[in-house]
Amino acid sequence: MPLPARRTLPTLALALIPRAVALNLALGAVVGALKLPVYLDSVGTILVAVLAGPWAGVITGIVSNSVLGLLVSPALFAFIPVAIVIGWLAGIAGRAGAFASLAGAIAAGLVIGVAAALASAVIVIALMGGLTASGTGILTIAIRATLGVSVDSAAKIAAIATDALDKPLSCVLVYLVLERLPRRLSARFRRATA
Amino acid sequence: MTSALDRWNPLTPLAAAVAMVLAAFAGPQPYAPVLVLAVALLVAIASGIGFKVTALTALVVLPAFALLVLLAAAFPDAATAQRQWVPSRAAVLDALAVSLRLGAAIAALGVVVVGVAPRRLTRALAARGLPAWAAYLVIASLEAVPDARRRADDVIDAQRCRGVPVGKGTGMRGRLRALPALAGPLIVGLVTESEERALALDARAFDPRASRTALAPIADPSAERWARRVIWLALAAVIAWRLREFAQSLTIT
Amino acid sequence: MSTEPLALSMRVRTIAYEDRIALRNVALDIARGEIVGVAGHVGAGKSTLALAAAGLLGRSVPATIAGAIEHPLGGRPPAAFVFANPSTQLTELGETVEEEVAVGPENQALASAAIRARVDDALAQANATALALRIPRELSGGELQRVALASALALEAPLLVLDEPTAQLDPETAVRFAGAVRGLRDRGAAVLLVEQNLELLASLADRVILLADGAVLATGAPRDVLGRDPPLDARLGGLRTRRDPPPASARAEHPSLLTIEGVSAGYGDREVLRDLSLTIGTGEVVAWTGRNGAGKSTLARTIMGLVEARTGRIRLGQRDITALPVHERARLIGLVFQDPRRQLFSRTVLEETMFGPRTLGLSRAAALGHAREALAVVELHAREAEHPGDLAPQLQRRLAIASALASRPQLLMLDEPTAGQDAEGRWLIRAALELQRSRGAAAVITHDLGFAQDACDHNVTISHGHVSHIGRISLERDSFRR
C-alpha cells in the first residue's frame, strides 16, 4: 500500500487518542480508590507515544492538556509544553525499544520525569516574571524556586517525591499493558504508524 | 450549559480573550492587567458566570502571590545576602504585579472556558479551517472522559468482586500490587475499544482530511466578523507601541 | 430472486486475516427490497462476511481478499453498517442524538437543509424520533441501537449491513428493532442481516446463508435452511447439543443459604432497594426478573457488598456478612457483570481464569486445577492458551463466568449471562449453573424468560426495590411474527 503523500494519523490512532486523553483523567479514580500518592495523569499520553510514535504522543499531550484546560482551569493551558515533552520523549523511548523490558520502562520513566519537572519549572518561572528578567535572573530564580520549595516546606518535599515516583510508575503500567495487549492489536498500531 | 455568551459566535469571545491576555502582558504596567482583570470579571458577572471565573482566578492568583512573597522573604536580594524573614515592600509590590498579570490572563480565558461550551467553540474553529481530525480529537475526548470515568468505576467493582482489596486495611505494598489489577483492565479495555471506534468512524464515511459541513452551522454575523478585525487591529497597535518602547530602551542603554 | 437492481454482488474465493483464512467460496447477491440473513455459530465467519459486504474489510480492518466485491449502485459509502455493541459504534462527534445521526451526512458534506431532512427521515424510519434531543450516553442499549440504525440510514447508502444488531438487546426490544428493519425492506432497502436469534432471522429474511467454519453450509429460503431436519443446532453443533440437558433439581427442601432481611440500599439520595427480604436455598438456581431500574443489579451489588446495606441484615449460611468487606466476601460470593471486558487483563485465557483464585490466596497448583475445571464446563479448555482479547464477545462472557466459577463461591450471581449467546452458549451457561447448584446456589438476573424457565427453579420478580412475586416462570413465548 503506497504511503499517502501527506502523513496523517490513521483512523485507528485517531480513535485511540480520545481514549488516551480520557484515561489520563480517569486513572484518578483508580489512584483515589487505592489512595496512592501519585497522579498517573500521563499514562495515556505515554501509551499512545509508544504505540503510535512521538508525533501521536505529542498530539495526545496537546489535546489532553487542552481538554484539562477546558474542563478544569485555563491555567493548565500553560503546561501544554510539558505534555509535549512527555509525549515526544516517550515516543523516542518507545522507538528505541525502552518499553521492551521493565528496566527500560523504569529508566524511560526517570528521564521523562526529570524532563517534565524541568519543563514545568521553566514555565512557572517564565510566568512568574522570568519573561522580563535577564538570563541569569531566570537561573537564580530557578535555583531559588527548587531550593526554596524543597527546603522550606515538607509538603513540597512530598510533592517532589510524588513527581519522582509518578512517571516511572506510569511507564511501568504502560509496559505491563503493552505486554498484555492482544498481539494482533499492537501489530496493527505498529503497521499503521510505521 | 449555556450562558449569555452563547449568543455570540464563540470565536468573538475567544479573540477578545486572547487579545486581553496579550494586552495584560504587553500593555503598560500595572494598568493593563488591572484593566483586563476588571473587564473580564465584569463580563463574567454580566454573563452569570461571575462566581466560577472569580474562583478560577483566585485559585491561581492567591497561591502565586503567596509563593512569590515567600520566596522573596526566604531569599532576599543577592546584594544584601542577608536572610530577613520579612519581605520588603518592593518585593511585595513585585509579587502583586506578577500575580495580577497571571490573574488577568486566567480571568480573560476563564470567561471563554466557563462561558462558551467547548464543543461549540471547537465547531466554530472547525468552520474556520481547523482540520476535521483535530476537531474530532477535542470533541471525542470531551465525550470519552465521562465514559472512561464510568468504565474505571466498573473495573474497580469487577476486580473487587474477584478479591482485589482496596481502601483501608491494605498496606502501601498491597495497594501498589493492586494497581495493575485495577488500571490494567481499564487501559486494555480502552485501547481495544479504539478499534471499534475507528471502524465506526470509517463506516460513517469520516475522512480526517476532508472538510465537513454542519447540521446547524454556528452563525457568524458580519458585525462580529468586523468586531474581531477591530480587536486584532487594536492588539497589533498595542504590541507595536510596546516594541517601539522596548527598542528605545535598548538604544538608551 | 428479485428483479430489482443489485446493491451487492460478491464473488469471493478467500478472505484471510494475518494468520488464518476466515471465509472461503462465497457468492452473494443482494437486490433492493431484499433481506438476506446470515446464520452460523461463533467463529463461523459471519462478521467477516458482513464487514466484507460493506467494503470495510481490507480498508479499515487488515485482511486479504481474493475475489471481487462490487456495489453496482455505487454510493459514498456504498454500504451503511450497524454493529452489535450499542455504545461503541457512536462516533462521539454528536452531543445529542440528532447530532450523532447527522455525522454521516456532515461527512458527506451535504448542505444544512439536506442534512436536516436526512436526519429527520432516518430518525423516523428507526423509530427514534422521540430520542432526537437526548444525550446518547444516557440512553439504554435498545435506544442506542435504534440511534445506530438511524445513523446508518442517514448515509442513504444503497446497502445496509446489520451485524448481530439485537445481540445485546432484551427479547422485547429485539422484536421492536426487527419491526424497524422490516419497514426498511418494505421501502426498498437492500439488507444483509447477521443474526444469532434464528426465530427472528426466519421471520425477517427472504433468503438465508448458513455458515460453518468459514464456508457456506446451505443457502435458500429460511424455512428450507433453518427449518429442516435434523434441527439446525444439531447440524451446527454436532453431537454436543444433542446431549441431554443437565438434569433440573427436583429437591423439594432447600436449607437456606442466603438470607436477606429488610435490606434498604441505594446511591446517594436515591433509595433503590426498600426493605427487601429474600432467601435462596442451598442447591437452588433462581431467576431475578423485573423491569430496567427495578433494583435487580443493585440487589446483587448489595449482596456482594459493593453497595452498602443501610438497614437490615445479610446472612450466608449462619454467618452475618452485612459488614464484611468486598474482597473478603469474594471468597463466598461471586458476581459476574454484564460486560466481561471490564475485567480482562491477562495474557491467556487460563491466567485470566486463575486470577480470582490466586488473588484469594490459593496456591498456583490449586488455582490451576480450579481454573481448568471451570474452563472445561464452558468449553473453553481448548483455548486456554489464547489471548482473552482475541475471543469473540460471546466467548469472553463465558470466560468471565468461568473466572467466577474457579473461585468456587457458595453463591454465584450472573447479570444477563445469555445476552448475545447462541444455543450452544446458553446450554453451556446452564451447565455452569448446574455445577454451581451442586456447590451452593446461583441467581441469574435476566430478561430472557426462556432461559429462566429452562435453567432456573423459580422466579423472583423485583419491582420498585422489593420482591413483588415469587413463583414458577410463566412464559409467554415472544412472537417474532407480525
Q: What is the 3-state secondary structure (H, E, C) of chain B?
A: CCCHHHHCCCHHHHHHHHHHHHHHHHCCCCHHHHHHHHHHHHHHHHCCCHHHHHHHHHHHHHHHHHHHHHHHHHCCCCCCCCCCCCCCHHHHHHHHHHHHHHHHHHHHHHHHHHHCCHHHHHHHHHHCCCCHHHHHHHHHHHHHHHHHHHHHHHHHHHHHHCCCCCCCCCCHHHHHHHHHHHHHHHHHHHHHHHHHHHHHHHHCCCCCCCCCCCCCCCCCCHHHHHHHHHHHHHHHHHHHHHHHHHHHHHHHC
The mean pLDDT value for B165-192 works out to: 88
First vs last C-alpha separation in chain B:
53
The residue among C448 and C335 whose pLDDT is bigger is C335
Residue C314's pLDDT is 96
Chain A residues with CB inside 8 Å of B56's CB?
73-75
Q: Which of A11, A182, A184 lies closest to C60 in CB terms? A: A11
Tell me which chain A residue has its CA closest to the CA of residue C345.
Answer: A180
User: A11-193 adopts what CATH topology?
Assistant: Arp2/3 complex 21 kDa subunit ARPC3 (1.10.1760)
The residue among C450 and B103 whose pLDDT is bigger is B103
Residue B66's pLDDT is 84
Say if residue C320's pLDDT is above 90. Answer: yes
* Residue A46, SS3 per DSSP: helix
Query: What are the tens digits of pLDDT across the range A144-162?
Result: 555 444 434 444 555 566 6
Element holding C13 (H helix, E strand): strand C6-16
| Average pLDDT of the residues of chain C | 89
Residue C228's pLDDT is 56
Q: Select from B153, B191, B202 the residue whose CB has the most chain A CBs within 10 Å, as the one to mutate to test that interface.
A: B191
Q: What ranges do the domains of chain C cover?
A: 6-240, 256-471
Q: Judge whether B217 is closer than 8 Å to chain C, CB to CB.
A: yes
Domain C6-240 CATH class label: alpha beta
Paired residues of B139 in beta bridges: none
B252 band by pLDDT with thresholds 50, 70 and 90: low
- The answer to whether residues C31 and C190 touch, using CB atoms and an 8 Å cutoff, is yes
The mean pLDDT value for C88-109 works out to: 95
What φ, ψ does residue A49 adopt, rounded to 5°?
A: -60, -40
A125 band by pLDDT with thresholds 50, 70 and 90: confident
Chain A residues with CB inside 8 Å of B187's CB?
23, 43, 47, 173, 177
In one-letter notation, the amino acid at residue A162 is T
Considering only residues 127 to 186 of chain A, which have any Cβ-Cβ distance to chain B shorter than 8 Å? 127-129, 131, 140-141, 144-145, 148, 152, 169, 173, 176-177, 180-182, 185
- Please state, as a whole number, how many other Cβ atoms lie within 10 Å of the Cβ of residue B229: 11
Query: What are the tens digits of pLDDT across the range C368-387?
Result: 999 999 999 999 999 999 99
For residue B30, say if its preceding peptide bond is cis, omega within 30 degrees of 0: yes
C233 band by pLDDT with thresholds 50, 70 and 90: low
Query: What are the tens digits of pLDDT across the range B67-125?
Result: 777 777 766 554 455 555 676 777 788 888 888 999 999 999 999 999 999 999 999 99
Say if residue A5's pLDDT is above 90. Answer: no
Q: Judge whether C107 is closer than 8 Å to chain A, CB to CB.
A: no
Chain B residues with CB inside 8 Å of C343's CB?
155, 158-159, 162, 185
The mean pLDDT value for C463-469 works out to: 89
Q: Judge whether C325 is closer than 8 Å to chain A, CB to CB.
A: no
Residue B238's pLDDT is 84
**How do strand C34-39 and strand C207-212 relate by DSSP bridges?**
parallel
Say if residue C272's pLDDT is above 90. Answer: yes
- In CATH, what number does C256-471 get? 3.40.50.300
Residue C121's pLDDT is 94
Chain C residues with CB inside 8 Å of A18's CB?
92
Lowest mean pLDDT among A82-96, C226-240, C436-450: C226-240
Q: Judge whether C301 is closer than 8 Å to chain B, CB to CB.
A: yes
Give the contacts of A32 (CB within 8 A, at least 6 positions apart).
none
Lowest mean pLDDT among A60-64, A96-100, A128-132, C51-55: A128-132
Q: Judge whether A74 is closer than 8 Å to chain B, CB to CB.
A: yes
- Residue % of chain A over a pLDDT of 90: 53
* Residue C418, SS3 per DSSP: coil
- Residue % of chain A over a pLDDT of 70: 76
C248 band by pLDDT with thresholds 50, 70 and 90: low
DSSP C225-286: HHHSSSPHHHHHHTTGGGSPPPPPP------EEEEEEEEEEEETTEEEEEEEEEEEETT-EE
Query: What ipTM does this complex have?
Result: 0.89
Residue A186's pLDDT is 82
Residue C454's pLDDT is 87
Q: Do C347 and A180 touch (CB under 8 A)?
A: yes
Q: Judge whether C399 is closer than 8 Å to chain B, CB to CB.
A: no
Q: Do C334 and B203 touch (CB under 8 A)?
A: no
Q: What ranges do the domains of chain A cover?
A: 11-193
- CA B220/CA B138 separation, integer angstroms: 22
| Average pLDDT of the residues of chain A | 81
| Average pLDDT of the residues of chain B | 88
**Shortest CA gap C55–chain B (Å):** 9
- CA B151/CA C30 separation, integer angstroms: 40
Q: Judge whether B202 is closer than 8 Å to chain A, CB to CB.
A: yes
- CA A117/CA A125 separation, integer angstroms: 12
Tell me which chain C residue has its CA closest to the CA of residue A180.
Answer: C347
Query: What are the tens digits of pLDDT across the range B14-54?
Result: 999 999 999 898 888 788 999 999 999 999 999 999 999 99
Residue A86's pLDDT is 97
